[in-house]
A and B are shown apart, each in its own frame.
Chain A
Amino acid sequence: MAKALHRLANPARFLRIASPLLPWIAAGAAVCGGLGLWFGLVGSPPDYQQGDAARIMYVHVPAAWNALAGYAGLAVASAIALVWRHPLALVAARCIAPIGACFTVIAIATGSIWGHPMWGTWWVWDARLTSVVVLLFLYLGYIALLHAFDEQETGERAATVLALIGAVNLPVIKFSVDWWNTLHQPASILRFGGPSIDPAMLLPLMLMAGGFTLLFAYLVIIRMQTELARRRVMALRRAALAVSQPGDA
């Protein structure tokens, strides 16, 4: 059973499927991002309250969505790694983490820049900003634990457990932070009764969201390819060492 799964998780198979996809993902990210930027910066009206400043939303919101989706991906990969001991899932999880953390930093930075004209200050302890900061700490804790051990495998297993604890706790944290801060704006895209946002703004937002997601996937696959190649190099070097020094393991 476990062995059958290991065959499915074969890195060579992953590379065979992922490598030809990669250029298409890159092209998709470029097209979505390019169109999204054009519609966002030129082809859409300024916000009637916030003016042109609101256009940063086309970067901020997709980054925040991907930061959250990245953590979900991290948790799913960790669950697969823990339950089915899927070796590729461990590689996926460790490759998602730094990219998710970067998207989180982008979301925080753009949120802060957006907040400056709106609130007159660079930072407000509003529920969503605070949640994203907590998300960043979850990512950073995962990365720190991943690299804290001498043996790479031990770090991966420990970080896997931490990612799942975080995934279970994240809704509770989100609920607590929301409750703690009732001053936040209502989430306007997924609000009950349909989107309240103007369609002219929704189109670039969705394009940018698609572009960011494809970019995220592109970066994760590149990192996974690199990580698999690195492991292969390590294995080859170890094998070479064993050949050159027989009997001295």
Chain B
Amino acid sequence: MVDTSKTSARMTDPAGASSDALVVTNLSCVRGERALFSGVSFVVPGGSALLVTGPNGSGKSSLLRILAGLLDAEDGNYRTPERGAFARSVGYLGHANSVKIRLTVRENLRFWARLAHAEPAVEPILQRVGLDRFMDMPAGWLSAGQLRRLALSQLLIVDSRLWLLDEPAANLDSGGESVLQQELARHRSAGGCAVVTSPTDIEMTDAQRFELTGQ
């Protein structure tokens, strides 16, 4: 199926992972004068997911922010997958929803769609997350669970290969959770990979697990 010469050319890094994988080597993070974690290494190949668990303050969010390029690691390195058939390499869903309550649901999503050159996808994606009925309402009217769905739609519209999801299930209602699971499955079957954090071990089909213990 895959052209072997291409594959071997991509197998250049020591971990032996191909370019569709996230490779993290010996990453450490220091906030203030506190070491959050050190020596974190893992590989998330295309099509797979990693669930990072750990107590509050163990550095789950910082790990994702480092991988998203929003924070510098103290030591170690990482390599994000090449975007391949996706529009971008890295997509990020943070702790906060990145929603402007003064804009309507559609306006919120359309802004990020513009940045990703994906404006036609706005309405279908709002349907996928179940917010199509609220399309022209101010986002300020949404419930916490609906706001989280809107945040999820902002991730979906970017179409990136690596998803970094910081506690995506927080505030999400049960319907929203199944939407999240569906989208994760769809993303992985398309060859994407994901790193998901959660304070507790949650149900995630066929995912690797990694625990940050806090030092």
- The DSSP consensus for interface residues of chain B is loop
Inter-chain contact A235/B33, CB cutoff 8 Å: yes
Known contacts: A249-B214, A249-B215. The answer to whether A152 contacts B32 by CB under 8 A is: yes
Interchain CB contact (< 8 A) of A231 among B33, B55, B215 = B33
Interchain CB contact (< 8 A) of B55 among A151, A235, A238, A249 = A249
- The DSSP consensus for interface residues of chain A is helix
Type the 1/0 row for B4-34, where 1 means its CB is closer than 8 Å to any CB of A. Answer: 0000000000000000000000000001111
Does residue B77 face the partner (Cβ distance < 8 Å to A)? no
Interchain CB contact (< 8 A) of A153 among B32, B57, B58, B215 = B32
A151 to B31, CA, bound (A): 9
Inter-chain contact B57/A249, CB cutoff 8 Å: yes
- Chain A residues with CB under 8 Å of B32's CB are 151-153
Inter-chain contact A249/B58, CB cutoff 8 Å: yes
Please, which residue of chain B has its CB at the minimum distance from the CB of A87? Answer: B33
Shortest B26–chain A CB gap in Å is 14
Does residue A148 face the partner (Cβ distance < 8 Å to B)? no
- Chain A residues with CB under 8 Å of B55's CB are 249
A152 to B31, CA, bound (A): 10
Which of A151, A152, A235, A249 has the most B CB atoms < 10 Å from its CB? A249
Interface residues of B in 169-215 (CB under 8 A from A): 214-215
- Chain A residues with CB under 8 Å of B34's CB are 238
Does residue A234 face the partner (Cβ distance < 8 Å to B)? yes
Shortest B1–chain A CB gap in Å is 44
Please, which residue of chain A has its CB at the minimum distance from the CB of B59? Answer: A249
Type the 1/0 row for A3-18, where 1 means its CB is closer than 8 Å to any CB of B. Answer: 0000000000000000
- Chain B residues with CB under 8 Å of A249's CB are 55, 57-58, 214-215
Shortest B196–chain A CB gap in Å is 22
A249 to B58, CA, bound (A): 8
Type the 1/0 row for B124-166, where 1 means its CB is closer than 8 Å to any CB of A. Answer: 0000000000000000000000000000000000000000000
Type the 1/0 row for A135-168, where 1 means its CB is closer than 8 Å to any CB of B. Answer: 0000000000000000111000000000000000
Interface residues of A in 198-249 (CB under 8 A from B): 231, 234-235, 238, 249
- Chain A residues with CB under 8 Å of B215's CB are 249
Shortest A135–chain B CB gap in Å is 31
A234 to B33, CA, bound (A): 9
Shortest A236–chain B CB gap in Å is 11
- Chain B residues with CB under 8 Å of A231's CB are 33
Please, which residue of chain B has its CB at the minimum distance from the CB of A2? Answer: B75
A231 to B55, CA, bound (A): 26
A43 to B32, CA, bound (A): 54
A77 to B194, CA, bound (A): 42
- Chain A residues with CB under 8 Å of B57's CB are 249
- Chain A residues with CB under 8 Å of B58's CB are 249
- 10 A-B pairs within 8 Å (CB atoms) are namely A151-B32, A152-B32, A153-B31, A153-B32, A231-B33, A234-B33, A235-B33, A249-B58, A249-B214, A249-B215
List 6 additional A-B contacts (Cβ < 8 Å) besides A151-B31, A249-B214.
A152-B32, A153-B31, A234-B33, A235-B33, A249-B57, A249-B58
Residues of chain B whose beta carbon lies under 8 Å from any beta carbon of chain A: 31-34, 55, 57-58, 214-215
By Cβ-Cβ distance, the 5 closest A-B pairs, closest first, are A249-B214, A153-B32, A151-B32, A249-B57, A235-B33
